[in-house]
Amino acid sequence: MRRAFLIALVLAVWSVNGWAGDYNYQAHVKGMVCAFCAYSVGKKIGSLPGVDAESVDVNLESGRVGFASKQPVSRQALESVFTESGFRLDTLDETGHVPAGSGSGQALALMLDMTLDSLDTGRFETVFEAIGNIAAGNPSRLVIEAPASLEGDLLKPVLMGRQQVMKVRFKASDSPSIHLQLYM
């Protein structure tokens, strides 16, 4: 009896874990006109509870935004991140519940790993523009780690005026340096 109960308990836990996973969403956001807008929209959506920030995929041309979340996301929660931003949520659709472990993300290789031991962003603006050109022309992901106060100064030369969207992740740190990693 005890053994049968344990087997039933293990099977129940195993099957529940098989159901756990991501909720996938497609949204249409109005008001995006450049790569910096797309970055801002992606960052805002990625900040919602349960949303996997790495899953946020913004298509600037169509205004479509796809993302995954570990928990359901309501239209109201998504609309709340756009208040006072100039962006507007047009539609939000759940595209399905995906079981854990069934993701099909494309693996990118680390191509550039650079640390700048100066916080003088103006001194390196041409470097940031060049990295933005490379990242915009290829499937890529750029990770920038620097003090939070530098986010705008670093992202402007990388993103401003571009019509190509790239995946950029800014991580605030207390370090007195700027760390850039480009994956392609």
Last residue of a domain, one of 99, 119, 152: 99
Give 58-97 pLDDT, tens digit per residue. 888 899 999 999 999 999 988 888 777 788 999 999 987 6
* pTM of this structure: 0.72
Give 8-39 pLDDT, tens digit per residue. 443 443 444 334 458 999 999 998 888 888 88
Q: What is the pLDDT of residue 182?
A: 94
Nearest to 34 by CA among 25, 26, 42: 42
Do 125 and 179 belong together in one domain?
Answer: yes
CA distances from 166 to 19, 51, 59, 102, 139 (A): 32, 19, 10, 24, 7
DSSP state of 173: -
The answer to whether residue 86 is domain-embedded is yes
Do 117 and 62 belong together in one domain?
Answer: no
Last residue of a domain, one of 74, 99, 124: 99
> How does residue 51 score in pLDDT terms, banded at 50, 70 and 90?
very high
**Quick check: 134 pLDDT over 60?**
yes
Q: What is the pLDDT of residue 147?
A: 97
Split into its structural domains, the chain has a count of: 2
> How does residue 1 score in pLDDT terms, banded at 50, 70 and 90?
low
Nearest to 24 by CA among 63, 57, 60, 61: 57
The answer to whether residue 9 is domain-embedded is no
Q: What is the pLDDT of residue 166?
A: 79
State the residue range of the domain holding 118.
110-183
Do 81 and 27 belong together in one domain?
Answer: yes
What are the DSSP calls for 69-122, one per residue? ESS---HHHHHHTTTTTS-EEEEEEEEEEEETT---PPP--EEEEEEES---GG
Last residue of a domain, one of 99, 129, 146: 99
